[in-house]
Amino acid sequence: MAPLHLGAQEGPAKRVANIVSVAIAEYGLAVDARGKLISDLEYEEAVTFLKDAREVAERMSGDRVPPIRALLDSMSTAVNEKRPPAEVGAIHASFVAALGADAALDMPTRRLDLADGRSIYQANCASCHGVTGMADGPAAAQLNPPPPPLGDAAAMADVSPALMYRKIAVGVAGTSMVGWASTLSPDQRWNVVAYLNAMRAPASIAPGEGLFLQRCAGCHGPTGASDGQLTQALSKLPVELSSFGWQAERSDKALADAIRAGIAGSAMPPSRDLSDADVAQLVAHLRTLSLADVPVLGLASTDPTDGAAVGRRVIALLDEALNAARTGRNADAGDKAFDSYIAFEPLETPARARNPGLVASMERMFADFKGSVKTGDIRSAEKSRDALESGMPGIIELTKPASGFWGNFLQSFLIILREGFEAILVVGAVVAFLIKTGHRERLRSIWVGVIAALVASGITAVILATVLRALPATREIIEGVTMLIAVAVLFSVSYWLISKVEAARWQQFIKEKVNNALQHGGGRALTVVAFLAVYREGAETALFYQALIHEGALTPIALGLVAGFVVLAVIFTAFYRHGVRIPLRPFFAVTSGLLYYMAFVFMGKGIRELQEGNVVPITVLPGFPHIEAMGLYPSVETLLAQSLLLVLFVFALAKTFWPRRSVTLPTVSGDALPNGASGEMAGRIEALERKVREMEQSIVLEHK
């Protein structure tokens, strides 16, 4: 038997959501559509469950609690008045909306395990419900009321898997059925539910499988993934029968009714010629189709302790996308490809902290795969799929915790050194520029920008790990938007600097021009550059350290962080001190080139992040080189964006260095001078040039 989950009882919000859901389901069985009572037992259970929910709600706190309690009271009043289930259901919908994410049904995070469900059932349930679920266990005779016959298909026909799951979680008041939320994990509870479904199935479901392949697979596909040969001719795709989430909310009776009567608004016809036994066979086979499905949301919202299971899920989704593309369902294939990347996300952060190059390569292949399946390029998609499968073992290995003191120290040291170096390049260039141009008083603005970026990075990391954790590709979207903002700021500063290169020929003008530029917003722009340079790396770095602290000892991680900061400080000091000694004109040119290069890279990477976040489409260019260091990716969208930046850069150079804009000294032709004045003028010009050289030297000495 699998070890039982020893955790705390579910939080009051989750528990009250489960209790109310059970109450509403019981009420639907107790009262008909006109409000007539048809079952006293289910009605009393509904009333009791709502009372329990009100007691649990009393333990909740916060601003949202008063409306939740008011809605609970409204439901109780409607139930007491025996209002039609549709009216009670409308109040329940408002209640679910008020609870938000807490009202969501927990989904399994891995493939269902019937053997585990059988072990748990026999050890904890069979004594009352019986080995075969017919309510004939050794303790059943002493129970009042008696336990329900879970193995009786007729008795359980109206009970959905979701209702069974919630009853296992919260128990049934007034009976010997206790809640198991604090003892069984969500995965274990779903395993028990799956075993109960299998317990009610016919001894052999082979006839049901045959009926499905003959009558249903043409549209629904052999595995129920809506990838049958006839789907290309349908205007509306059939339901994915293999979807666990779709099946969880539907009872056996609901599935049987859909088989007999068809589904309105779809191409599914009625099958009234089937006998009850045939329909039961089909329902039993349908239940088996969802056993291998793992909802992507469940995977994305859990800690990836089982990297191998996550990897298998990712490859399964890639195969589903590939199959959809092969049958011409390119849009569906693109959605499945995006789902595969979302399923990969739990592995991404811990793996990126150790080997960002491998993770970047995997992300590139995910994007290439999505672009290929959306355009129907099956051969390229197959290559990307095989490459992802080959790289998955390495990713899974990287998610394993670091071992020993030095392992944690080295990983912590490398994270801060690697992520901080790029920010050092930008901030160091800006600081060196301010010192060289005599604006040390503006350094305070740079430090304010850096500190603000560190604070914002920490806040963003916390939000990503909590509030936005369940939203797909949130980090990619935030990173992409940040990079594109950085592109605009970096390019504007780069252009401003390069426009001073020509003016630097006459250094007596430079101080006045720099002062004027800083007074009219240039200083603020440099502050924004410093903020974005740090913030772009900071949020991701904070996430890396969250994962590292979760799996390792705090002392070596802290020491590695301190050592990394020391090395970065040394690099930063050397960078701006040596930068100050560079002659002014080359310094402007080098700094401008560096900032433009980073803007060019950020443009490509920013668009790529938004493509991974499914915000920007991707059109793959087969055979185009991929150069990570330059932000070059084989997609039309990234290259168009970078081409635009390149055109703007060429325009900036032309505008700056066009001969008519060059700064020159006025000259006077010798022929225009009076007789004998030529030599005198030459002497004056020589003296003027000597004076200019002296001024240049004094300015250089002033800024050393």
Q: What is the mean pLDDT of each run of 10 residues along the chain (704 residues)?
A: 50 88 91 91 91 89 85 94 93 88 79 91 93 92 89 92 92 85 90 93 87 89 81 76 88 92 83 92 91 62 60 83 80 82 77 76 86 87 89 82 65 72 71 70 78 79 56 58 65 59 42 48 64 69 62 71 82 66 58 71 80 76 76 84 84 65 42 49 60 57 50
Round to whole Å and give the CA distance between 246 and 242: 8
Sign of CA dihedral 394, 395, 397, 402: positive
> Tokens 């903020």 sit at which residue?
531
Round to whole Å and give the CA distance between 466 and 443: 35
How far is the CA of 55 from the CAs of 58, 69, 334, 515, in angstroms? Answer: 5, 10, 46, 69
For helices 65-80 and 12-30, what crossing angle results, to 10°?
Answer: 20
What SS3 class is residue 106? coil
> Tokens 């059925």 sit at which residue?
177
User: Is-contact 541 430, C-beta < 8 A?
Assistant: no
Round to whole Å and give the CA distance between 152 and 611: 50
Structure tokens at 106: 């927990």
HEC profile of 267-335: CCCCCCCCCHHHHHHHHHHHHHHCCCCCCHHHHHCCCCCCHHHHHHHHHHHHHHHHHHHHCCCHHHHHH
Tens-digit pLDDT profile for residues 656-699: 666 544 444 344 444 444 454 445 555 655 665 666 566 555 55
What SS3 class is residue 437? coil
CA neighbor of 491 nearest in space, from 677, 647, 307 = 647
pLDDT at 188: 92
Round to whole Å and give the CA distance between 458 and 470: 19
User: Is-contact 610 466, C-beta < 8 A?
Assistant: no
pTM, 2 dp? 0.55
Round to whole Å and give the CA distance between 587 and 498: 10
Give the up-direction half-sphere exposure of residue 420: CA atoms within 13 A in the CB hemisphere: 21
Structure tokens at 4: 């039982």
Round to whole Å and give the CA distance between 701 and 704: 5
What SS3 class is residue 632? strand
Round to whole Å and give the CA distance between 270 and 290: 22
Tens-digit pLDDT profile for residues 196-235: 999 988 888 889 999 999 999 888 888 887 777 787 777 7
User: Is-contact 240 250, C-beta < 8 A?
Assistant: no
Cα end-to-end span (Å), the chain: 76
Give the DSSP per-residue string, 168-195: HHH--TTSS----TTTS-HHHHHHHHHH
Q: Which uninterrupted H or E stretch holds 358?
A: helix 356-375
Burial code (b: 16+ CB inside 10 Å, e: under 16) for 418-441 equals ebbeebbbbbbbbbbbbbbbebee
CA neighbor of 274 nearest in space, from 266, 282, 286 = 282
- What letter would DSSP give residue 581? T
